[in-house]
Amino acid sequence: MARVLVMIPSGEVYDHDCVRWYQYGNVQGNIDHYHNIGDAFVFDSSLKLMNYDKLSDLPIMNPKMEHIDRLREEYDYVILRGSNYVHQHMDWTDAVPVLKRLGLPVVAFGIGAQAPVKGQIELSDATKAVLRVMADSTVSVGVRGAYSAQVLNDIGIQNVRIIGCPTAFRRNDPSMKIALPALDDVRKVGVTVRREVSPTYAQNIERYLTSQRDLIKSMASRFDATLMAQGEVEEKKLVFGTEQQKEEAIAALKANQWASDWFLDETVEKLYRERLFYSDVVADYENLVKSKDLVLGYRLHGNLMALANGVPSIYFTYDSRTAEFAETYQIPSFDVFGDKVFRLEDYWDQSLFDKYNSAWSETYGEMHRFLTENGVDHKMVEGRQRDSDSVRRVA
């Protein structure tokens, strides 16, 4: 089986292909550190699609080149887990000289670009250089959707394949489908929460937060709701902290003008104290979503983890990244900045999820083809393929 290097991992690996955050048991040591556990979902899911018997990190910060030379002899290829790498401010440190010295294929596993609210996306010279090294080393570059494919095309990289995200396929079941239960039978609902957001990507922060607040309150009033956080410090303290730290977290939220004005009213504060979930272990999230009848909200990977386990999910789209995922998989989605009011009943329509089932099946086939054509030893059972056998070329 394969010997794999991982570029920019996101967590520590245990039990061969499971991921949790670094030193996850040191709760107090990590409690003031923000990290998006969704990145660990992607890493964990990537490992679950591959066969390998040796795995190690590829250092791209202050590496010793003699060590890179040894890695060339000991490993077969590099994977870069899918994430939002394609932007102006990505810090690649010494990635370009390392990858050129290493000389191994670098498999980009569902990478993506994110459009700013205003103006065109700009890429740093380092980002362009890394992308070109990767594209030159493999048959295809795996991207999450059409927008990311176009951004790469604009810098001359045309050997792209739209594969979505490994998280969607972590169960490796090409026959998986979403079948809606009767809405009256829905009891347990997960609401994925993303309180922190950048005005660079979300065009109206007040609208973003108030709509999220209203969703939380609406779902909690109708169902047995769990609020699913993914790494913000105050939320972590409310789940893991001492009583003093919990009160400090609430005080910090109230002192934050965005949160106090548009998000944390009396009802949401009570729900935050009583129904908030967070974990540094990917498997804990998967076990949680399996227990739900519906998961919906603002977390891209939290929602996708539910869909990957056959649980219905509805996306709330607020930037190009969430919209691109919804487009790739045809996921039923609500535009936070649109002119409609969210009504769950409007989305409880099997025909909407049949579109998702079809798009998911096609993209599963694209992921299978992507891994195969790039020589990745993988576990995916062959599923439905698109009409073309060629790598997507963006006009």
Write down the domain spans for the chain: 2-173+361-373, 183-348
pLDDT mean over 9-21: 97
% the chain with pLDDT above 90: 91
Architecture of domain 2-173+361-373: 3-Layer(aba) Sandwich (3.40)
Here the tokens at position 382 are 């062959």
Cβ atoms of 371 and 102 closer than 8 Å:
no
Residue 150 predicted with pLDDT over 70: yes
What separation in angstroms does the CA of 326 have from each of 224, 229, 292, 333? 26, 20, 21, 7
Task: Determine the pLDDT at residue 383.
Answer: 63
Task: Determine the pLDDT at residue 60.
Answer: 96
pLDDT mean over 383-389: 51
| Span 279-335, pLDDT tens digits | 999 999 999 999 999 999 999 999 999 999 999 999 999 999 999 999 999 999 999
Using CA atoms, how far apart are residues 307 and 360, in angstroms rounded to an integer?
A: 10
| Span 249-265, pLDDT tens digits | 999 999 999 999 999 99
| Span 331-357, pLDDT tens digits | 999 999 999 999 999 999 999 999 999
pLDDT mean over 88-112: 95
Q: Parallel, antiparallel, or unpaired: how do β-strands 294-297 and 313-317 relate?
A: parallel
Residue 191 predicted with pLDDT over 70: yes
pLDDT band at 108 (very low <50, low <70, confident <90, very high): very high
Other C-beta atoms within 10 Å of 105: how many? Answer: 17
Task: Determine the pLDDT at residue 268.
Answer: 98
| Span 51-79, pLDDT tens digits | 999 999 999 999 999 999 999 999 999 99
Using CA atoms, how far apart are residues 152 and 156, in angstroms rounded to an integer?
A: 7
Residue 120 predicted with pLDDT over 60: yes
Here the tokens at position 151 are 């951004």
Using CA atoms, how far apart are residues 37 and 35, in angstroms rounded to an integer?
A: 6
Amino acid at 224: D
Task: Determine the pLDDT at residue 1.
Answer: 81
Specify whether the backbone of 254 is left (phi greater than 0), alpha (psi in -120 to 50) or beta.
alpha
Q: What is the largest CA-CA distance in the chain?
A: 63
Task: Determine the pLDDT at residue 201.
Answer: 83
Mean model confidence pLDDT for the chain: 95
Decide whether 2-173+361-373 matches 183-348 in CATH topology.
yes
What CATH number should be reported for the domain whose range is 183-348?
A: 3.40.50
Using CA atoms, how far apart are residues 44 and 12, in angstroms rounded to an integer?
A: 10
pLDDT band at 387 (very low <50, low <70, confident <90, very high): very low
| Span 127-145, pLDDT tens digits | 999 999 999 999 999 999 9
Who has greater pLDDT, 395 or 79? 79
| Span 218-241, pLDDT tens digits | 999 999 999 999 899 999 999 999
Query: Tokens 């040591």 correspond to what residue?
Result: 29
* Total residues belonging to the chain: 395
Residue 394 predicted with pLDDT over 50: no
% the chain with pLDDT above 70: 97
Task: Determine the pLDDT at residue 391.
Answer: 54
Cβ atoms of 34 and 82 closer than 8 Å:
no
Using CA atoms, how far apart are residues 117 and 205, in angstroms rounded to an integer?
A: 12
